[in-house]
Amino acid sequence: MKVVTFGEIMVRLGAPDYLKLIQTDKFEVSYAGAEANVAVSIANYGMETDYITCLPDNPIAERCIMDLRGHRVGVEHIQRSGKRMGILYLERGSNARPSKVYYDREDSSIATIQEGSIDWNEILKDATWFHWTGITPALSENAAKECLKAIKTANELGVTVSCDINYRGNLWRYGKTAAEVMPEMVAGSDIILGNEEDCEKVFSIKPQNFDAANTGGQVDQSSFISVCQQMMQKFPRCKKIVVTLRGAINANHNTWGGVLYDGKQLIESCRYDITDIVDRVGGGDSFMGGLIFGLLYYENDEKALEFATAASCLKHTLKGDFNWVTISEVESLIGGDASGRVKR
């Protein structure tokens, strides 16, 4: 089984020790990108991956490729084009002060991709799964066209397609909106992941009597049945709708869970109370990576959902976008071992 993902990877520059960006004179350097994060998770669980992106021909991009290769992510089809990698600046929040992300990614290599430059028939001919997110079509019109081509090719080849709606309002700057571009792309997807904000901002679909800013850490999972039903009516190809549920108590303390709807029943995951969060950026991607792996490995929706939720819970304990946890660590948490006792 091989999972292919497509999207942008950036240089992540994080202010250390909870400093604000305006305070720091040094950065912690790593790499970040939703689709790359998913590929890293899946490769970490032992499945074959192929990550598709565009990177410039310079030492920074070469170091990025080395990093991906070190995670056993397939990099053979990365296109070397364009002049720069995008940059993500991060300041991690604490208590009442939220984390903040600032982007410098205009005219990055993938944003300047040439339409038709990727041979999707060749890349997807032996793939089991193709994953994309709503970030990629937000970067440029050509990136959107190339992503749509990949989705259509996957559909023709019988490859399962998943999408994370991942709405980023500040990225849609080239004259088209997410509401104009995304529906045709989502319509070609078999598995759809989103949260209440994604569905509302892009498709005007929202749960009743729900305000994400005022959950107090408590989220009624059953209130999302209407969102799932409306999404499936709008996108009949879709076989499963998955919604992540984050209850924000403060920047360091969240509750975390998810629901999966298959058109007949709503499956609810275990709810985790995550205190002393180390880094929540990339948490949704670690969930998606766990979900894809779980659906392929267990072939059981309930087990897949629990694996995704537990994997993402553990990601909150790790710095950086990538989730380094193993299958055994995730399964241990699912089994109830959340003590944090030293393993000898």
pLDDT in tens, the chain (344 residues): 999 999 999 999 999 999 999 999 999 999 999 999 999 999 999 999 999 999 999 999 999 999 999 999 999 999 999 999 999 999 999 999 999 999 999 999 999 999 899 999 999 999 999 999 999 999 999 999 999 999 999 999 999 999 999 999 889 999 999 999 999 999 999 999 987 788 889 998 877 655 555 555 555 666 678 888 889 999 999 999 999 888 889 999 999 999 999 999 999 999 999 999 999 999 999 999 999 999 999 989 999 999 999 999 999 999 999 999 999 999 999 998 765 554 54
Q: Which pTM does this prediction carry?
A: 0.93
Rg of the chain, C-alpha, whole Å = 19
**DSSP string covering 247-278, please?**
EEEETTEEEEEEEEE-SS-EEEPPPEEE-S-S
pLDDT of residue 319: 94
SS3 7: coil
Q: What is the pLDDT of residue 213?
A: 53
Cα separation, 33 vs 85, in Å, equals 11
- pLDDT value of position 245: 85
Distance CA(307)–CA(314), nearest Å, equals 11
Residue 335 phi/psi, 5-degree rounding, is -75, -5
Phi, psi angle pair for 189, to nearest 5°: -105, 140
What are the two backbone dihedrals, phi and then psi, of residue 160, each rounded to the nearest 5 degrees? -65, 135
Task: Identify the DSSP state of 276.
Answer: S
pLDDT of 344 reads 45
Alpha carbon 117 to chain centroid, angstroms: 24
* Closest to 88 (Cα-Cα) out of 110, 107, 103, 108: 103
Rounded CA-CA distance 81/341 in Å is 47
Beta bridge partners of 245: 257
| 83 closest CA partner among 118, 111, 117, 103 | 111
Of 249, 184, 192, the closest CA to residue 224 belongs to 192
